[in-house]
Amino acid sequence: MNIIEDFKNSFSRTGNGLNQIIIINVVVFVVLKVMQVFLTLSGYSDIYSLCTEYLFMPASLQNFIYKPWTIITYAFSHEDFFHIIFNMLFMYWFGMIISEFIGSKRFISLYVLGALAGGITYLILYNTIPYFSSKLSSTVLLGASGGVYAIVIGAATLLPDYTFYLLFLGPVRIKYIALFYVFLSFAQSIGPNAGGNLAHLGGALIGFIYIWQLRRGNDLGKPMHWMAASFASLFNHKPKMKVTYRNPTSSFETTKTTKTTNEDISQAELDMILDKISKYGYEKLTKDEKQKLFKASQSANI
């Protein structure tokens, strides 16, 4: 089994953003863990600490200005097994909803915007609220939670009555799951993981704003779409092919082109379909509505 080839295939396939983000997080976690074990056993744990300084986001603004890239790298870095397991599970469960209904490229955009919003919220509040001043120099931020909360709240804003069946609780609408976790993060924003919970709230806010603006026809993730497409192209070097046909009864060579006859679904139509799903379920859609939803999701993919 060629693991590297499997990874390349995952990044070369279109509409695979959810798996791509999970793979990046898992690979970074594994690499960090292997480094931590070997360097610690070899007596070079300081080297591992130096490496993480360039991945984790410092709370101190004075330190951050020398490591501005950490506002992205922190969102792909984990040290604790349970931390990454729960983050990836929540990302998968709620990310499936985002990817299915508004497309893979918007899932990636929402994750990255959530990470940025979480990092900015953490940075601003730690440097402006006196309560955090004593912890400023020693606190760093890591983990995908800011992006994950953007995905969770985005899914709950998009389809608030979508139902998950939870162990011991039975059917629960995702809007209540989202509200519970937002309140939990707010309540723990003065606890030992205050920075992480502040990042959760920042990610949650951008998740709501992103879907709210998308319903109004404004896609806040357009710059991210270009970046994601550029990254994916690194794994896809297939040559472009142009197929021509010669008419045997004519001396003129013509190029075969295809043109879709179906008009793109409007944002208003998409909103109506999504509202119907949230109220009555996917199975209540007509055949025509299912086809329109499918075409909309395909056009949203990278």
pLDDT at position 188: 94
Residue 248 lies in a domain: no
Domain holding 10, by residue range, is 3-232
Residue 242 lies in a domain: no
Q: Which of 77-81, 144-148, 206-210, 260-264 has the lowest mean pLDDT?
A: 260-264
Average pLDDT of span 62-86: 94
Maximum average pLDDT range among 5-19, 187-201, 276-290: 187-201
Residue 263 lies in a domain: no
Residue 164 has φ and ψ, to the nearest 5°, of -105, 145
Domain count, the chain: 1
Give the containing element (helix H, strand E) for 153: helix 145-158
Distance in angstroms (rounded) separating the CA atoms of residues 17 and 98: 11
Q: Does residue 51 have a pLDDT over 60?
A: yes
Q: Is 219:168 a contact under the CB 8 Å cutoff?
A: no
Q: What is the pLDDT of residues 184-212, one digit of tens each?
A: 999 999 988 999 999 999 999 999 999 99
Q: What is the rounded average pLDDT for all residues in the chain? A: 82
Q: In which band, very low, low, confident or very high, does the pLDDT at 11 lie, cut at 50, 70 and 90?
A: low
Residue 212 lies in a domain: yes
Q: What 3-state class would DSSP assign to 170? A: strand
pTM: 0.76
pLDDT at position 164: 87
Task: Please give the sequence-ordered ranges of beta strands (E in DSSP) within the chain, or none if there are none.
Answer: 57-58, 140-141, 163-166, 170-173, 244-246, 253-255
CA angle 258, 264, 268 (to 5 degrees): 180
Per the model's pLDDT, the better-predicted residue between 26 and 164 turns out to be 26
Where residue 169 sits, what CATH number does that domain have? Answer: 1.20.1540.10
Tokens of 81: 């097994």
Residue 260 lies in a domain: no
Burial of 87 (0-12, 13-18, 19+ CB in 10 A): buried
Residue 39 lies in a domain: yes
Tokens of 244: 């021509």
Q: Does residue 125 have a pLDDT over 80?
A: yes
Q: In which band, very low, low, confident or very high, does the pLDDT at 299 lie, cut at 50, 70 and 90?
A: low
Residue 289 lies in a domain: no
Q: Please count the other Cβ atoms lying within 10 Å of the Cβ belonging to residue 11.
A: 18
pLDDT at position 165: 84
Q: What is the pLDDT of residues 242-266, one digit of tens each?
A: 544 444 443 333 333 333 334 456 7
Residue 183 lies in a domain: yes
Q: Which of 90-99, 101-110, 248-257 has the lowest mean pLDDT?
A: 248-257
Residue 69 has φ and ψ, to the nearest 5°, of -65, -15
